[in-house]
Amino acid sequence: MRFLLRRVVFYALTAWAAITINFFIPRMLPGDPVTALLGRMQGRIDSNAEHSLRVLFGLDQDTSMWQQYLDYWGLLLRGDLGLSFTHFPTPVADIVSQSLPWTVGLVGVATIIAFVIGSLIGTFLGWRRGTWADGLLPVATFFQAVPYFWLGLITIAVLSVNLGWFPSSGSYDRGLVPAFSGEFIGSVVYYGFLPALTVVLSSVAGWVLGMRNMMVTVSSEDYVTVAHAKGLPERQVMLGYAARNAVLPQVSSFALSLGFVVGGTLIMEMVFSYQGIGYTLYQAVSTHDYPLMQGCFLVITLSVLVANMVADLAYALLDPRTRTEDR
């Protein structure tokens, strides 16, 4: 219980830090792009919305920093992230909440697949170390070093442009109306296959290498030798004794790698014009839509924190030591 409490406090602190960073970035950086944009928007923006933008970006020169900070929190707690400049006058919160489910679906499915496949391959490689299986390591290293988006470009070039198997952009057939029907879901899966495949391809290597190194370490533990000495079948020793213990650090490193995977997925969405939050961020960056950028960062960070908390909970369930350890 104590473990969970500590984690919850930590995540609350991190969420506060992320929100505070988000508050300070536009204020600390030189230049004032927002004033220029507000000038361009003159007259088209109602005074209420303008006020919230001023609060979000620190343009009220007459209020103190502390008051600005309090106002900022007030807006956030009401779910007001300001208005988007490009999709004027749509609130940022609306745009972000429309694109978030797409990203969550893509990252979620791809990460789970990559984790399972990667850990299985890593188990095998670690168990058969020092044989031909080690020849697969350079391949894994290569995939780990390839930038996500370049792998995306290559898969588009091969599977979409040359072979024509999959669409190269978009997230569902534009001729369909979004509905909870078999046809629509099929289209989503079909369009999502290529982005998901690329995320899996580029993130699986990390899991393979991590699991393999843990297997190498765990295989020389006494309990594995004992399991062998008892004459248990090889498979059972590998999966039930060695892999079972080796997978724990994988789960705990899940939290740390998630931010990286999410970053990669955002880029992938930009490559595939997949209507998730990464693509929204991309559009915001290329049109200098500052409120939308800030909103995207905030929502991405908070979602990653929630996912991390779930991973920690899973870890506490898997590893009894975290539950008994009382310090």
Partner 1 sequence: MKNQLLFLRNGKVITGLVILGFFTLLALVGPWLSPYDPNQVSDALLSPPSATHWLGTDHTGRDILSQIIVGARGVLVVGLVAGVSATVVGVLVGVTAGFVGGIGDESLSALSNMFLVIPQLPLIILIAAQLPSAGGLTVALVIGATGWAWGARVLRAQTLSLRKRDFVEAARANGERTWRLVLAEVLPNLTAVIASGFVGTVTFAVLSQVTLSFIGITPVSDWNWGTILFWAQNNLALQRGAWWWFVPAGACIALLGMALTLVNFGIDEIVNPRLRSTGLHARSLRRRGIRPRVGFTPVVREVRS
Contact flag: residue 8 with partner 1 (CB under 8 A) = no
3-state class (DSSP) for residue 231:
coil
The least distance separating partner 1 from the CB of residue 82, rounded to whole angstroms, comes to 15
Scan for tokens 């791809």, then name that residue.
110
* Residue closer to partner 1 (CB basis): 138 or 182: 138
* Residue closer to partner 1 (CB basis): 188 or 285: 285
Q: Which of 132, 164, 231, 320 binds partner 1 (CB under 8 A)?
A: 132
The amino acid at residue 6 is R
Contact flag: residue 165 with partner 1 (CB under 8 A) = no
Beta-carbon contacts of residue 269 (< 8 Å; ≥ 6 apart): 102, 103, 106, 195, 275, 276, 277, 278, 279, 282
Q: Which of 46, 60, 94, 134 binds partner 1 (CB under 8 A)?
A: 134
Closest CA to 170 of 148, 153, 195, 152: 195
In contact, 207 and 122? CB cutoff 8 Å: yes
Contact flag: residue 95 with partner 1 (CB under 8 A) = no
In contact, 289 and 86? CB cutoff 8 Å: yes
Phi, psi at 85, each rounded to 5°: -75, -40
Scan for tokens 């099929």, then name that residue.
186
User: Which range in 5-13, 47-55, 116-124, 244-252 contacts partner 1 by CB under 8 A?
Assistant: 5-13
Contact flag: residue 228 with partner 1 (CB under 8 A) = yes
Closest CA to 205 of 260, 157, 154: 260
Written as one string, the DSSP assignment of 25-67 is HHHHSSS-HHHHHHHHTTTTS-HHHHHHHHHHHT--TTS-HHH
- In whole angstroms, what is the distance from residue 189 CA to residue 186 CA? 5
In contact, 210 and 140? CB cutoff 8 Å: no
Q: Which of 36, 116, 157, 189 binds partner 1 (CB under 8 A)?
A: 157
* Residue closer to partner 1 (CB basis): 187 or 294: 294
Contact flag: residue 159 with partner 1 (CB under 8 A) = no
User: Which range in 60-68, 77-85, 96-104, 123-131 contacts partner 1 by CB under 8 A?
Assistant: 123-131
User: Which range in 60-68, 88-96, 130-138, 193-201 contacts partner 1 by CB under 8 A?
Assistant: 130-138
Interaction residues for partner 1, span 166-185 (CB under 8 A): 168
Contact flag: residue 225 with partner 1 (CB under 8 A) = yes
Contact flag: residue 39 with partner 1 (CB under 8 A) = no
Interaction residues for partner 1, span 241-280 (CB under 8 A): 242, 255-256, 258-260, 262-264, 266-267, 270-271
Contact flag: residue 25 with partner 1 (CB under 8 A) = yes
The DSSP secondary-structure symbol of 147 reads: -
- In whole angstroms, what is the distance from residue 275 CA to residue 283 CA? 10
The least distance separating partner 1 from the CB of residue 327, rounded to whole angstroms, comes to 13
* Residue closer to partner 1 (CB basis): 88 or 142: 142
Contact flag: residue 73 with partner 1 (CB under 8 A) = no
- In whole angstroms, what is the distance from residue 113 CA to residue 317 CA? 21
Q: Which of 85, 102, 149, 207 binds partner 1 (CB under 8 A)?
A: 149
Q: Which of 5, 161, 163, 177 binds partner 1 (CB under 8 A)?
A: 161
